[in-house]
Amino acid sequence: MKKVLIGLGVLVILVAVGVFVFLGSLNDIVRAAVEKVGSDMTQTNVTLNEVDIELTSGKGALRGFSVTNPNGFSDDDAFKFDEVAVTLDLTTVRSDPVVVKEVVIQGPDVVYEFGKDGGSNLETLNNNVQSKAGSGGGGSASKGETPNIVIENLYLRDGSVSVIAPLLNEKMSVPLPTIHLKDIGKDGKGATPEEIADQVMAAVLKGAQDAVAQAKIDVEKLTGAAMEEAGKAAGEAQKAIEDATSGAGDIGKDAGDAIKGLIGR
């Protein structure tokens, strides 16, 4: 009996060690895949510092994600966030596609940089991603080594966009509108990592464009207000001039009436 208990104890330990090693390997595999596929898709340097996935709860986190600017732009990161929360559907972990219930990217930092030729870093990144997605590129992910994915809800919340342009003396920071992508890959057999990257990059570009457009509207409102004040001041000045000359106008009117009486008109 004692030997049986010892045997069971060793088995439990081996299972526990196996699970620990598997989880550790899984996190490393996900991190390496994100960096490899992301770098190949964007043609820049993509870094992910840490992956923490708990298969027992179906929840996980990705920490320290960044995408460097493409060539020809500043040394700033084009896109980065400290942490993203992920919730998996555990019943699909060993399936294809894997279903991700929710992805929440909280407080992403986006740099929207315009070059002298009028192009931007985000447009360059988006073009790079579209090119890879359209050609079926993206490294190992395109070779069937990873399952397709369905993402039911993906959010980017409370982000900011730093605008850099040749004529701006410093960065102009504006809020990034909330981005919500729904049912990615749900229409077919799931989406590849390349297709997901394509949709997310396009959404980030549009969100940054909307943020800049909103900032422009705000500037126009301020300019309009200033012009309105100037117009108001000019109107008051004109009224003062009219008041000052109203007496002279009355005298001229009386003289005109007298002349009309003399000539019978």
How do residues 14-27 score in pLDDT, each as one tens digit?
Answer: 444 434 444 456 78
- Calculate the CA dihedral of residues 70, 73, 76, 79 and round it to 10 degrees: -40
Element (H, E) at 182: strand 179-184
pLDDT surpasses 50 at 121? yes
pLDDT surpasses 50 at 93? yes
Which structure tokens are listed for 127?
Answer: 């073009």
pLDDT surpasses 90 at 69? yes
pLDDT tier at 160 (50, 70, 90 boundaries)? very high
Q: How far is CA 74 from the centre of its chain?
A: 18
Res 155: pLDDT: 95
Res 73: pLDDT: 92
What CA–CA distance (Å, rounded) separates 182 from 205? 17
Q: How many residues does the chain have?
A: 265
What CA–CA distance (Å, rounded) separates 250 from 257? 11
Are the CB atoms for 48 and 35 separated by under 8 Å?
A: yes
At 162, give phi and psi (nearest 5°): -100, 120
pLDDT tier at 171 (50, 70, 90 boundaries)? confident
Are the CB atoms for 146 and 193 separated by under 8 Å?
A: yes
Are the CB atoms for 85 and 104 separated by under 8 Å?
A: yes
Give the mean pLDDT of the chain: 75
What CA–CA distance (Å, rounded) separates 121 from 109? 14
153 versus 8: the higher-pLDDT residue is 153
Name the pTM for this structure.
0.68
**% of the chain at pLDDT higher than 90:** 35
**Per-residue pLDDT reduced to its tens digit, 199-258:** 999 999 999 989 888 876 333 333 233 334 444 544 555 555 455 545 444 544 443 443
Are the CB atoms for 91 and 150 separated by under 8 Å?
A: no
For 2, residues 6+ apart whose C-beta sits below 8 A from its C-beta are none
Res 193: pLDDT: 85
- Strands 172-176 and 46-54, sheet pairing: unpaired
**Per-residue pLDDT reduced to its tens digit, 50-62:** 999 887 888 999 9
> What is the 8-class DSSP label of residue 118?
S
pLDDT surpasses 80 at 263? no
- Residue carrying the six token digits 């390997």: 25
pLDDT tier at 165 (50, 70, 90 boundaries)? confident
Question: What's the 3-state SS for 141-176?
Answer: HHHCCCCCEEEEEEEEECEEEEEECCCCCCCEEEEE
Res 221: pLDDT: 36
What CA–CA distance (Å, rounded) separates 118 from 253? 62
List the one residue out of 108, 63, 70, 110 whose CA is nearest residue 86.
63
Res 1: pLDDT: 55
32 versus 135: the higher-pLDDT residue is 32
**Per-residue pLDDT reduced to its tens digit, 141-152:** 444 566 789 999
Res 180: pLDDT: 96
